[in-house]
Amino acid sequence: MPDPRLSVSLPYWQDRDPMDALLVAEAADKLGYDRLWLGEMATFDAFALATAVGQAPGRIPLCIGPLAVDIRTPATIAIGVASVAALTGRAVSIALGTSSTVVVKDWHGRERRRTAVHLEESARIVRQLLDGEKGDFDGEIERIRGYRLRLPAPGGPELIVAAFGDRALAAAARTADRVVLNLVTPAQVARCDTRIREFAAEAGRATPNVSVWVTAAGDPTPDMLHTLRRGVVGYLRAPGYDAMFAEAGFGEVVRLAHSGAHPREVLAAVPDELPATVGMFGDSGTLANRLTAYRDAGADEVVIVPVSTAEDPAAHHTLETLARIEHG
């Protein structure tokens, strides 16, 4: 395993001001975190936010995504990465994913089909373009011919694929430099790491490194715990995540979510212990133990998704606590 990294992903909590993201980015840079991830949900365009962050004082490398391949074409993804790199002068990597049916079909009106195939084909095209090659690919879902980046190709960015089930993990093992997992227990990280190694060996490739997004709160308050519970409600019905939470002992809540109950009813049934199974919450000793558990399970990069509050919009307490744990 390469030297372990401790990074930060900007949080987009529904009950917080979206501008908190800029404060978290500034704090992560000043505290010496290894990388800043910028995902995309319902607020900022990821490339616009990455440019704003990258033009501010600081030097932290950026990772954009995971971005849904069902929403953006491989060419627009590569153009976005090259744009951020050219405008900011920062090291920029890209993560690809498939998002959810709600985001793809309901929000964007796009079709979500054969997600593992789509993920792999998009990754292959993005790789060509970011390596400065002329795009040439004719797949089952994605195709490109004749386009080459007009901006300088970002030299050597990591191509990262978000995956969970076996088909997506196999696609990632065949194409990615790194696989990122989200909302998983340390035991699930270990199982996914084993499968990634098996799939990479079958493909004759070096095993991709593994990152894991982990929601974190140092000395959580009741408001923080409410935010955390609310954040997992949408995952309780998602394929794969539902089985994981059921395996962790929360089958009754999963069944309630699948019953069609209103999200408020599901939220009321989510105990504090449920998000804790896929996060790190507590005092510094608890955080240190959870960080070790994820690394021992196979993650060489733990990406903190910190809980921000009205009293601490930059999540300083959590980020400072984990920085002390990491750097002493």
> Which of the pair, 143 or 233, is modelled with greater confidence?
143
pLDDT (tens digit per residue) in 292-313:
999 999 999 999 999 998 888 9
Question: Are 192 and 164 spatial neighbours (Cβ–Cβ below 8 Å)?
Answer: yes
Query: What are the tokens at 156?
Result: 């050597």
Residue 178 pLDDT more than 70?
yes
Mean pLDDT value across the chain: 92
Per-residue model confidence as pLDDT tens digits over 23-53: 999 999 999 999 999 999 889 999 999 999 9
Contact (Cβ atoms closer than 8 angstroms) between residue 324 and residue 284: yes
- Provide φ and ψ at 113, rounded to 5°: -145, 150
**Short-list 45, 18, 16, 34, CA closest to 319:** 34
pTM over 0.85, yes/no: yes
Asked if pLDDT for residue 100 goes beyond 80, the answer is: no
Residue 203: is its pLDDT beyond 80?
yes
Structure tokens at 234: 């949408």
As a whole number of Å, the CA-based R_g of the chain is: 19
Tokens of 52: 């704003």
Residue 103: is its pLDDT beyond 70? yes
Omega of the bond prior to 66 within 30 degrees of 0, cis? yes
